[in-house]
Structure 1
Amino acid sequence: MVGCIVTGHGDFALGLSSALEMIAGPQEEFRAVPFHEEGAGEYAKKISDAVRDMVDRDGSCVVFCDLVGGTPFNQSMMLTGELPQVQVVAGTNLPMLLEGLMSRDDSMTAEGLAALAQESGRSGVAHLTVTGAAADEEPGEDGI
């Protein structure tokens, strides 16, 4: 199974990890690595250790980052030079993580998971409006 790491600025990774567990339960071979103000040097070691551990256990890994060009993305991309079995996806959102992690199986590659996650992330973004009588209704107990 492809290992997965979510990372980003502040508590981005911890928040997504918490939401993922609330919806889908605990996930195997999944880890959140937050980037706080400890500096890029300390973070570089944390993300490197996490990625290497995941690759050692699983053979490959996808790192889900918050945005292109930030420290979490840059540090993750630097690892791909020496670890070609690592894929990096930026612009991570909850639909992407849910679909990606729930679709993993032993035949899926890191490249395949990254592509699936990217498409799921795009599909999960929507701008919706409620019109007419439906706008006047109170939401149900489940929030929908």
Structure 2
Amino acid sequence: MKYVVLVSHGDFAMGLKSSLNMLAGKRNDVIAVGLPDGKTADEFALMFKEGIQAVTGDDEIILLADIIGGSPLTTALTVLANEGKLANTITIGGMNLPLALTAVLMKDSSDRETFIATVVSEAKAGLQEFKLEQPEEDDEI
């Protein structure tokens, strides 16, 4: 099985999972673990290890993190390495809803390189300024 695992500072990962449930349906292949304010990286490691208990050595992981180099990501990678699960993991930082949704919907339908290129492209496309066109005011009343 392929799992999408979301890690973040605070409740972002859980909130993103909630949004994914609304858009893609409730799924058992999405796991979310957040680093609560005031908790240490060691405490997060235990939470993360508990969160991925269902993942076996034969499973694949798509690890999405809020910030590249942040404690949730680096701690998750350490746990995965210690568990022997890092070799079957794709890691992407800077997650947003378009990235996560695309990952969930296409994780089983494409090869690794196509998958990575597509989800990163969708994440980037989701970042843009949104401008409302204002109608020009008519000077004559």
Q: When the two structures are superposed, what TM-score results if normalisation uses the length of structure 2?
A: 0.79
| Whole-angstrom CA distance in 2 between matches of 1:52 and 1:110 | 24
- Residue aligned with 2:54, SS: helix
Unaligned stretches of 5+ residues in structure 2: 137-141
Structure with the greater alpha carbon radius of gyration: 2
- Residue aligned with 1:8, SS: strand
- Residue aligned with 1:89, SS: strand
Equivalent pairs counted in the alignment come to: 132
1:86 matched to 2:89? The reply is: yes
Is 1:2–1:109's contact at 8 Å kept on the other side of the alignment?
no
| Whole-angstrom CA distance in 1 between matches of 2:112 and 2:49 | 17
More helix by share: 1
**Which moved further from structure 2: 108-117 or 93-102?**
108-117
Q: Residues 66-81 of structure 1: matches in 2 within 5 Å?
A: 66-79=66-79, 81=81
Is 1:2–1:58's contact at 8 Å kept on the other side of the alignment?
no
Q: When the two structures are superposed, what TM-score results if normalisation uses the length of structure 1?
A: 0.77
| Whole-angstrom CA distance in 2 between matches of 1:77 and 1:115 | 21
- Residue aligned with 1:133, SS: coil
Following superposition, the deviation at residue 77 of structure 1 comes to: 2.8
| Whole-angstrom CA distance in 2 between matches of 1:99 and 1:61 | 15
| Whole-angstrom CA distance in 1 between matches of 2:60 and 2:114 | 11
Which residue is 1:7 aligned to?
7
Question: What's the Cα RMSD here?
Answer: 2.4
1:99 matched to 2:82? The reply is: no
Unaligned stretches of 5+ residues in structure 1: 135-144
Q: How many percent of aligned residue pairs carry the same amino acid?
A: 26
| Whole-angstrom CA distance in 1 between matches of 2:101 and 2:57 | 22
| Whole-angstrom CA distance in 1 between matches of 2:118 and 2:102 | 8
Which residue is 1:127 aligned to?
129
